[in-house]
Amino acid sequence: MSTNFEPVIQALESGGIIAYPTETVYGLGCDPFQRTSIEKIFELKQRPLAQTPLILIPDVGWLEKLCKNIDPLTAKLVDHFWPGPLTLIFQASKEMPPWLIRDDETLAVRHSSHPWVEVFMKAYQKPLISTSANLSGQEPSLTIESVKQVFGDKVDLYIDGGELRQNKSSSIVMIQEGKLKVLRPGGVSVNEINQVLYGERSSF
């Protein structure tokens, strides 16, 4: 895959939408701080804007900028599973724009382990919206060709990462009052998560 990131960064900074591979399924992405771009993604997916998207970050240092009051058990999951296919729910910082914040004043955040995404995010050094590249309620896409069939020229830039092997989206979990709450099963099993929560100490 190309490591010429200039076209990707230009597309994002100009408010464009990109389609790109992750360690789970193909995703649609944009600059999370440009509301019109997020509205465009939700319109493409035919998904209500009330369902806030998750955010990819370049490194765990971004958690201090985006989130507050990080729970020790959540930090333990960060230590063990990031980068990887686990999305975690955090309390949102007051500085975050309202369109990124869920009704319970939280954010959904992930650090991707896909090789291209990892290298790109280190170069980009900004958060990136990540939502599966499919119409709402439909199966996620595992090839860039299937993404193009759905969205055509409505996506500004397509990044071909070949056929993906994982057919599950990331797991989404949160720690609520000291207990694990699974919002969406996915790439990391509940058994794996429970084993980490009750068998390791966190260094984060």
How confident is the prediction along the chain (204 residues), in pLDDT tens digits per residue?
778 899 999 999 999 999 999 999 999 999 999 999 999 999 999 987 767 889 999 999 999 999 999 999 999 999 999 999 999 999 999 989 999 999 899 999 999 999 999 999 999 999 999 999 999 889 889 999 999 999 999 999 999 999 998 778 899 999 999 999 999 999 999 999 999 998 755 554
Task: Please check whether residue 173 lies inside any domain of the structure.
Answer: no
* Full residue range of the structural domain in which residue 148 is found: 6-69+86-166
Task: Please check whether residue 176 lies inside any domain of the structure.
Answer: no
Is-contact 18 6, C-beta < 8 A? no
Task: Please check whether residue 78 lies inside any domain of the structure.
Answer: no
Counting the structural domains of the chain, the total is 1
Task: Please check whether residue 128 lies inside any domain of the structure.
Answer: yes
Task: Please check whether residue 79 lies inside any domain of the structure.
Answer: no
Task: Please check whether residue 39 lies inside any domain of the structure.
Answer: yes
Task: Please check whether residue 182 lies inside any domain of the structure.
Answer: no
Q: DSSP string of 113-124?
A: --HHHHHHHHHH
Find the CATH number of the domain harbouring 110. Answer: 3.90.870.10
